[in-house]
Amino acid sequence: MTLHPFVEIRRELHQIPELGFQEFKTQKYLLDYLNTLPKERIEIRTWETGLVVRVKGSSANKTIAYRTDIDGLPISEETELPFHSQHPGNMHACGHDFHMSIALGVLTHFVENQIDDHLVFIFQPAEEGPGGAEPMLNSNVLDGWEPDMIMALHIAPEYPVGTIAVKPGLLFANTSELFIDLKGKGGHAAYPHQTIDMVLAACTLVTQLQSVVSRNVDPLDSAVITIGKIAGGTVQNIIAERARLEGTIRTLSAESMEKVQARVQAIVNGIEVGFQCQAKVDFGAMYYQVYNHHELTLEFMDFVANHTDMKVVECKEAMTGEDFGYMLKDIPGFMFWLGVESEYGLHHSKLLPNEKAIEEGIAGIINYINFKGNR
């Protein structure tokens, strides 16, 4: 059976997942593909390990942008696919291989079928961390190619193929990483009075952090603090001198993020005083909320419902994070979920998106861009 060409591309990209700002093979693959296309209507710029491609319109008075992310995750793949990851410990477990193949399919169509307006395709690195969208926007890579609107998609394992899920307004939460390092005084387990125990301090801190959301965030708002990892100590009979907590903060408003971070810092300061230890907080990478432009999103939903074979549903906002929010902060546009009906979810080592969604996604976006980009 002959594979759809962009399914084949997806499988090739799936084998070379790379972490943020290390997407060297991925960038080369994309550039090699782009160099097979006619050069008359495309211009290519590189930025770090990403790139931006402009497809020239015939009589442009605006520029429509489409963004895809390109990095993988530090997850060991367990799918047993014949085209599984060739990079041990890394996997495209968030669908960025799908995202790239769909973007290339749309780009290729418009190189071959020119429309009135310019199109800009942004292949952005480091979405999973430490975040590529904000520094990419702050660079000069889009100078003279500034978009008038922008769009992007994310695969959704919970929806069937042929379904688009989206909503105007808030789609994804504000997110922040959370790293807390504690340093006390180690010693023998038989002489706790001569030590400053950082396992005890860490456990106390985790318990206290649970009060931040329940007692500092409006119950009609939403926020989450999760500590996903604790490391401390060496063996069972030595009191730990150091401990490290790693987690995440997610809120549905930027204001709540500021409040939650301030309370976390205050509680850590209290641990430092109460346990007579040293404590340091690092909020790591922060992502701004994905807030869809109301008018454009409603127009897109209406177009999908009435001019395509796809089903559109209005979804709820999610506590997931996406640095595409920085692009929507400055450029009108929207992000939507594309159904891929996988038993396993995002960031799972057995994620198996249905490849039929690639053709569906390409066709749907082409139809919408034709609608928006021709007058």
Q: Of the listed 71, 97, 127, 128, which one is catalytic?
A: 128
Quick check: is 218 catalytic?
no
CATH class for the domain made up of 5-172+289-373: alpha beta
Q: Of the listed 69, 127, 241, 360, which one is catalytic?
A: 69
Reported pTM = 0.92
19-to-74, 128, 341, 366 alpha-carbon distances in Å: 7, 8, 25, 29
Q: What are phi and psi of 3, to 5 degrees?
A: -75, 145
Q: What digits encode the pLDDT tens for the residues 130-163? A: 999 999 999 999 999 999 999 999 999 999 999 9
Say how far apart CA 66 and CA 42 lie, in whole Å.
15
Kindly list the domain boundaries of the chain, sorted by start residue: 5-172+289-373, 174-286
> What is the fold, at CATH topology level, of the domain defined by 174-286?
Alpha-Beta Plaits (3.30.70)
Spacing of C-alpha 217 from chain mean position: 25
Spacing of C-alpha 49 from chain mean position: 16
Q: What digits encode the pLDDT tens for the residues 296-327? A: 999 999 999 999 999 999 999 999 999 999 99
Of 127, 112, 129, 113, the C-alpha closest to 67 is: 127
Q: What digits encode the pLDDT tens for the residues 326-350? A: 999 999 999 999 999 999 999 999 9
Q: What digits encode the pLDDT tens for the residues 166-220? A: 999 999 999 999 999 999 999 999 999 999 999 999 999 999 999 999 999 988 8
- pLDDT above 80: residue 2: no
Quick check: is 143 catalytic?
no
Q: What is the pLDDT of residue 3?
A: 78
